[in-house]
Amino acid sequence: MKRVLLLVLAVVVAVLPAGCLVTPEPEQSPPTAYIDGISPSSPTEGDVISFIGHGTDEDGTVVGYRWSSSIDGDLGATASIEAQLSPGNHVISLMVQDNHGHWSEEVRRSITVAAAAQEPEPEPTPTPTPTPDPTPEVEEAPVVNFFTAAPGEIDEGGSATLAWEVTGADSVTIDHGVGAVNNAGVTVISPSDTTIYTLTATNSVGNVEVSVVVLVNPAVSPDVDKPDLVVTSIVRDGSTIKYTVKNQGTANAGPSNSRVFVDGVEKAAHTIGSLAAGASRTESFSFTYECSGTSDVVTVQVDKDNMVDESNEDNNTFTDTWYCIFVLPDPGIILPPITLQPDLTVTNVWASGKRIHYTIENIGSLASSPSTSRLYVSGSLVTSDNVPTIAAGGSLDREFPHYVFNCLFPMMKTVAVEVDAEDTNNESNELNNLMKVSLLCK
């Protein structure tokens, strides 16, 4: 026997030309079959049943289909077919064939076909007795197999796709202008606002409703140029209260009214003239100020009557605490030297684009050390900013670069900025480091 095998091997080697190798054909991947739906899901003998399927092939295309029943045999050879089945428990199989001639493995789905009601045979008597009506089949409510929206969130002007499949329904409708639809299908929708779409499936038993929501992000409208009046400092010049008002907006501000409070009591008010965008001016009140007690809380409010339409209406006040100076009766007492200290405060907070900006000012008598500012949104700390040294009397416009001020729906949010949050500076006033405003988030 070994001699015969050696002889066959020698003949094969002799037949092959010198230098030739037998290279096997690359192996083709078989396709994959999918059964997408069978409707109705609980048919009765005589009903026309719809079968929907598809196939995929990684290295070719699907060219053939084979539907079959474990009871009735072959049913059809296309992706979607309709057929009537015999009563019983069927195992429905689908195979697909690719352009290389390969068949997929079978995918199966079980379905039960109920037998049609049979008329009872009459009694073999001369006078037949009345035959009672057969018990009517109990119909079930419609079944919504799925109802989806993809994507579930779009920008204004965008589109989404609704897809659904319903069994056992006499009619199917979708609201918001879609209208009556088939029991299975897809449609493209382009809502202008966030919309809840409701599918209603109906038969003699009743209605079944399923809803999906499509979120629509509104388009960001371009910023409109507006003025923005703020008070950047309050000083005492003898018995006169002076303040600096700045228009930090992008449009000129018309005339407006200002007023001053001392310990919460309004003491004076006056009208100031127009102020160009980016300009500052020092104003004073015609009011004789005298410090009372040990200290006074002095507040200046600009545009008190909202005569100017500003980009930010929540940053018109500035408050400072002034300590009263006592004249000592004994001239022999040597007063301690005046201590120079920084005093960091926030004079403005605003949103531009998707960023939060703020103005930090050193109203003290000494340059500040590098410090840290913190941003709070709706009471939660969200980010921080490292601030360099600021000279006495100087100010910086800063932003929080690592936080995106963005909301799914336009809404007002409470925003707070705290400067020198880690107390790296020994300030003359540690109580004026925080400013809270309400900003529109969109």
pLDDT for 25 equals 58
Please state whether beta strands 143-150 and 62-69 pair in parallel, antiparallel, or not at all (unpaired): unpaired
Note whether 298 and 320 are within 8 A (CB).
yes
Note whether 325 and 277 are within 8 A (CB).
no
Note whether 200 and 184 are within 8 A (CB).
no
Helix (H, G, I), strand (E, B) or coil at 94: strand
Tokens of 293: 């007690």
Tell me the mean pLDDT in the region 153-168: 93
DSSP per-residue string spanning 400-433? -TT-----SS-EEEEEEEESSTT--S--S-SS--
Q: Please list, residue by residue across 391-402, b when 16 or more beta carbons sit within 10 angstroms of its beta carbon and e when fewer do.
A: eeeebeebbbee
The 10s digit of each residue's pLDDT in 109-149 is: 999 999 887 766 666 666 667 776 665 666 799 999 999 99
Residue 348 has pLDDT above 50, yes or no: yes
Residue 18 has pLDDT above 50, yes or no: no
pLDDT for 89 equals 92
Residue entry with tokens 């140029």: 225
Q: Write the CB contacts of 132 (distance below 8 Å, at least 6 apart in sequence).
A: none
Residue 206 has pLDDT above 50, yes or no: yes
User: pLDDT grade, residue 331 (50/70/90)?
Assistant: low
pLDDT for 185 equals 94
pLDDT for 287 equals 87
Residue 16 has pLDDT above 50, yes or no: no
Helix (H, G, I), strand (E, B) or coil at 3: helix
pLDDT for 277 equals 93
pLDDT for 59 equals 87
User: pLDDT grade, residue 337 (50/70/90)?
Assistant: low
Tell me the mean pLDDT in the region 327-343: 66
pLDDT for 24 equals 56
Report H helices in 278-403: none
Residue 19 has pLDDT above 50, yes or no: no
Residue 75 has pLDDT above 60, yes or no: yes
- Write down the mean pLDDT value for the chain: 87
Greater confidence, 325 or 52? 52
pLDDT for 291 equals 85
Tell me the mean pLDDT in the region 7-23: 45
The 10s digit of each residue's pLDDT in 212-247 is: 999 999 876 556 799 999 999 999 888 899 999 999
Q: Which residue segments constitute the domains of the chain, with CATH numbers given? A: 32-113 (2.60.40.10), 143-217 (2.60.40.10), 227-335 (2.60.40.10), 336-442 (2.60.40.10)
DSSP per-residue string spanning 176-237? TTTEEE-SEEEEEE--SS-EEEEEEEE-SS-EEEEEEEEEEEPPPPPPPP---EEEEEEEEE
Note whether 228 and 311 are within 8 A (CB).
yes
Residue 313 has pLDDT above 80, yes or no: yes
Q: For 48, phi and psi rounded to 5 degrees?
A: -85, 120
pLDDT for 12 equals 42
Burial of residue 12 (CB within 10 Å: 0-12, 13-18, 19+) is exposed
| H-helix or E-strand spanning residue 13 | helix 2-15
Q: Does this model's pTM top 0.85?
A: no
Percent of the chain residues past pLDDT 70, beyond the cut: 86
Residue entry with tokens 């038993």: 205
Tell me the mean pLDDT in the region 319-335: 67
Q: Write the CB contacts of 241 (distance below 8 Å, at least 6 apart in sequence).
A: 234, 235, 260, 268, 284, 285, 287, 289, 298, 300
pLDDT for 34 equals 93
DSSP secondary structure letter of residue 341: -
Residue 11 has pLDDT above 60, yes or no: no
The 10s digit of each residue's pLDDT in 382-405 is: 999 999 999 989 999 999 999 999
Greater confidence, 342 or 2? 342
